[in-house]
Amino acid sequence: MTTTLTSQRPTLLWASAILLAGSIAAQVVYPLVDGVARDRATVVVVVAAAAAMLAHATFRLGPPRAVAVFAATAGVGWTAEIVGVATGFPFGAYAYATDRIGPSVAEVPVIIGLAWTAGGYSMWWISALVSHRRPIRIALATVGMVGWDLYLDPQMVSARLWTWSTQDAGLPGIDQIPVTNFIGWAGVACVMFVLLSLIDPKPVTVTPLTSVAPVGWFTWTWLGSALAFLVFLDDPALHAAVPYGLIGMGILGVPAAMALARRIRSGIN
């Protein structure tokens, strides 16, 4: 059994890279279509990215702990969303559009939990490039998640996939999204990463293939979102979100990129 799993693990890495490529391809298609086709592209983006991260986690950690990673990311994130829609805590009062991005439970689309898996696992892996100290990793990954939502929320609000009850209590330029949302994201992400620090405390191995899924997802989201907002998406209101997303994700991305470059130069895995 162990031998079989070990022999399959390189295949899991290739699968994670191919799934990430599928997610990116759907994001390239996204601005070229509209209506139902755009909603379907959104579903492919999220499902493929989450599957890529779970394949990568299975490669590194084995199936039982990969399931635990899924529970700590999708489970925690989706539960927080259900509570948030029902009560307004911890994000603020909001509601999802119905019948657009797949089935819902308790008024929250199922794929929303998968989005937390895609982002959460990547952030956790990337944070290990900067530090192996648990509190630093948790803090950096949490900031990275909030930085991602500084892109994600403006885009999804622009697409009307969800709406906020209060639309004038946000940051300058993105005041349609209340600041409470980003505070809530920080709190939920922190809980998620505390759990991941127990499930996945391992240092990361840096090779071209082991880095593709987490580094590719993070880099594409960090820099590709800025390009899409400024050039390819048809809502000028998204322009104001670009500095927030670049800086927010950059707090993790810049030191991680420097650490990754040092490892590559020195040949350290």
- pLDDT for the residue 8: 57
CA distance 19 to 21: 5
Place of tokens 């400024």: 230
DSSP state, residue 34: -
Closest-CA residue to 119 (of 205, 209, 20)? 20
**Per-residue pLDDT band at 231 (split at 50, 70, 90):** very high
| Digit-coded pLDDT (tens) for 114-138 | 999 999 999 999 999 999 999 999 9
Closest-CA residue to 153 (of 175, 173, 169, 177)? 177
Whether the model clears a pTM of 0.85, i.e. scores above it, the answer is yes
Q: CB under 8 Å to 179, separation ≥6 — which residues?
A: 169, 170, 171
| Digit-coded pLDDT (tens) for 136-163 | 999 999 999 999 999 999 999 999 999 9
As a whole number, mean pLDDT of residues 58-86 equals 97
Task: Determine the length of the chain.
Answer: 269
Q: How would you label 186-210 residue by residue, b for 16+ Cβ within 10 Å and e otherwise? A: bebbbbbbebbbebbeeebebeeeb
- pLDDT for the residue 5: 42
**Per-residue pLDDT band at 1 (split at 50, 70, 90):** very low
Q: CB under 8 Å to 156, separation ≥6 — which residues?
A: 162
